Structure 1
Amino acid sequence: MARWNRYVVGADSLGRSAVLSTEPDPSSVQSKEGYYWRATLWATEEMPPDNSIEGDRSVGIARREPAPGGMLYRALEIPPDRADVEEHKSELTALNKQVEQKYAPTEADLARHPSMHRTDTLDCITCVIGEIYLVTDVDEVKMVPGDSVVIRGTNHAWSNRSDRPALLVGTMIDATQA
C-alpha cells in the first residue's frame, strides 16, 4: 500500500502561516496488507472546528466514526477485491471489531459485499486514484478519479474490481439519524 503525505498548515510562534506537520502520525494509520490502508488525516471533537486547539488532532484515532459532534478526514486505499470471499469477510469482521463498528453487518449485507457497513455520519468522499464500485443495498456505481459521493448514514461498501489499488479521500461528519 502506498503512503501519502499530509501537510498541516497553522500559525507559527509569530502568528505567520507555516507548515507545522508533513505526514500522518503513525498511530492514525491502520492497515492490513491486501485488504485496506487508511489514515486519519485530521479529526475534531466539535463543530464548528476550533483552530485554536494545539497539536495533531489525528493522533491515535482508530475508531470508524468521529467523536459525537466531531469530524474525521481520511484517506483510504483499497486494493482489488479478494478472490476468497470468506477470508475477505473474516478480515473485515476483525476490522469492524477493532474500529468499534456501531452496526454489525447482517448476513444479507455481507452477501452483498464483505465490506458492507453503516455509520451515523454524513460522508463526503472523492475517488482520487483508480476505480472503485460504490455498493448500496440496491445499486452499484463505478467511481473514477474526480467522482464524489455523499453518503447520508446508510449501508454502503467499496468493491475494487480492477487490478490496481484505489484511493478515496473524504470527510465523515457526525450526524443525527431519523
Structure 2
Amino acid sequence: MNTDFRRVVTGHDGEGKAIVISDANSTNVLQRPNRPGVALVNFWQTFESPARFDGPEETVDDPLILHPPKGGSVFRFVVFEPEDPEVMATLDGRAAFAEMGAGANVVAGARHPFMHRTDSVDYAVIVSGKIKMLLDDSEVTLSAGDVVVQRGTNHAWSNQFDETCVIAFVLVDGEGETGAT
C-alpha cells in the first residue's frame, strides 16, 4: 500500500520572507492489523481556532488518533484498499478504533464493522478511486473529484471496488446535537 505522500510546509525566515520549512514524505502513518487495507497519513494539525500560522514547525509528531485536537483540526489522507468481505466479517471495529483513541465512537450492531460517528465536521475529497459511504440506512457511491461534508453522522467507508481509493480529509473539532448511537 502506497503511503508515500510528499508534504511541503511553508513558514518565514528571520526577516519575515516566505520559505519552505520542510519538503519530505509524510512520516505520521497508521496501519494496523485490526483494520487491514487501510492507512491513515497525517499531514498537519492545529490546536486552536483561529489557527496559528506562526506556530510550531511540526505538528504531527504525536501518535495518530482519529479525532482532531479539541478546538483544532487535522489534515490527512486515508488510503482504502479493496475490501475482502470474508475478512471484514471477522474484524472487531471497536478494537480497531480503540487503537486510535475512538473505540467509543463505533456504532454497535451496525451493518459495517467500522460504522462510527466523529464529533467533528469533516471535509472529504475523493482523490482517486471509488468508495461507498455507508450511512444508517442508505449509501452513496463516490468517485474521484466528489466532495463530502460529514457533520457528526454515523458512517462507514467501504471500498467494494477493484482499485485503491484515496480520500483527503480535513476534520474540524465540532459540537452539537446528534442522533442516538
- Distance, in Å, in 2 between the alignment partners of 1:123 and 1:107 is 22
Q: 1:86 to 1:102 in 2, by over 3 A?
A: closer
TM-score under structure 1 length normalisation: 0.89
Q: Shift in Å at residue 102 of structure 1?
A: 5.5
- Is 1:14 the counterpart of 2:26? The answer is no
Letter in 1 for 2:101: E
Equivalent runs, 1:13-162 vs 2, <5 Å: 13-23=14-24, 25-26=26-27, 28-32=28-32, 34-84=36-86, 85-87=88-90, 89-90=91-92, 92-101=93-102, 103-109=104-110, 112-162=111-161
- Distance, in Å, in 2 between the alignment partners of 1:172 and 1:102 is 18
Q: Shift in Å at residue 21 of structure 1?
A: 1.3
Q: Shift in Å at residue 51 of structure 1?
A: 1.1
- Is 1:168 the counterpart of 2:167? The answer is yes
- Distance, in Å, in 1 between the alignment partners of 2:131 and 2:103 is 24
- Is 1:177 the counterpart of 2:176? The answer is yes
Report the count of equivalent residues: 173
**Alpha-carbon contact 2:120-2:151 (below 8 Å) kept:** yes
Percent identity over the alignment is: 28
Q: Deviations over 1:58-85 (max 9, x none)?
A: 2224111011101011100001112322
- Distance, in Å, in 2 between the alignment partners of 1:107 and 1:153 is 16
- Distance, in Å, in 2 between the alignment partners of 1:13 and 1:31 is 38
| Root mean square deviation, CA, Å | 1.7
- Distance, in Å, in 2 between the alignment partners of 1:23 and 1:173 is 25
Q: Which moves more between the two structures, 123-132 or 98-107? A: 98-107
**SS of 1:72's equivalent?**
strand
Q: Which moves more between the two structures, 168-177 or 59-68? A: 59-68
Give unpaired runs (5+ residues) of structure 1: none
Q: 1:158 to 1:54 in 2, by over 3 A?
A: same
Letter in 2 for 1:93: R
Letter in 1 for 2:13: D
**Alpha-carbon contact 2:8-2:20 (below 8 Å) kept:** yes
User: Which contiguous aligned blocks of 4+ residues in structure 1 show a shift greater than 6 angstroms?
Assistant: none
Q: Shift in Å at residue 158 of structure 1?
A: 0.4
**Alpha-carbon contact 1:72-1:173 (below 8 Å) kept:** yes
